[in-house]
């Protein structure tokens, strides 16, 4: 998989928060319910967002999480970096440590072109863009479609 499952959950949650964020803080149990993710697991994952300054959290009644910045100032790149790190955007396809223009691996020149496209995509696609396109995803999640292996 391109990005980790934790990261997928985190991105979906961020889209959800961006779509609902007019009402102040969004409680994590609400997000977990609507997205069919374990509450405790999501709590842990979202802490990476608060630690990296993409979200802010508030305890107690009417607490929850909220975006720390406007949705159009948070990119997919920011989200992935906070959860999975930047390896995906910098790594050699074969994982060779010193691979670069000086000592390219056999796939180097072909791979960096694809990787560069992916990086640009991630830097240009904002949370706002994704939130406005998320209607269909939400409908499906709300209808009980869980992740993966649950097609049957």
Name the helix (H) or strand (E) containing 41: helix 39-51
Residues of this chain that bind a copy of itself (CB under 8 A)? 1-3, 5, 8, 11-12, 15, 76, 87-88, 91, 93-98, 103-107, 110-111, 113-114, 117-118, 121, 125, 129-131, 133-134, 136-137, 140, 145, 147-148, 150-151
> Least distance from C-beta 27 to DNA, angstroms?
4
Query: How far apart (Å, rounded) are the C-alpha atoms in residues 60 and 31?
Result: 17
111 contact, one of a copy of itself, DNA, none, CB 5-8 Å limit per kind = a copy of itself
The 3-state DSSP class for residue 137 equals helix
User: In the complex with DNA, which residue's Cβ is closer, 21 or 126?
Assistant: 21
**Inter-axis angle of helices 76-84 and 108-124, nearest 10:** 110
């Amino acid at each position: 998989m391109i990005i980790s499952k934790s990261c997928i959950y985190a991105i979906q949650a961020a889209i959800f928060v961006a779509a609902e964020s007019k009402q102040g803080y969004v409680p994590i149990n609400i997000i977990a319910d609507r997205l069919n993710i374990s509450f405790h697991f999501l709590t842990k994952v979202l802490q990476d967002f608060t630690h990296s300054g993409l979200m802010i959290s508030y305890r107690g009644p009417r607490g929850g999480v909220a975006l720390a910045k406007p949705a159009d100032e948070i990119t997919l790149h920011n989200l992935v970096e906070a959860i999975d790190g930047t390896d995906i955007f910098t790594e050699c396809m074969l994982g060779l440590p010193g691979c670069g223009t000086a000592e390219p691996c056999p796939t180097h020149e072909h791979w960096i072109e694809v990787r560069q496209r992916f990086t640009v995509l991630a830097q240009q696609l904002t949370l706002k863009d994704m939130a406005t396109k998320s209607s269909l995803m939400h409908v499906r999640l709300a209808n009980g479609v869980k992740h993966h292996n649950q097609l049957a």
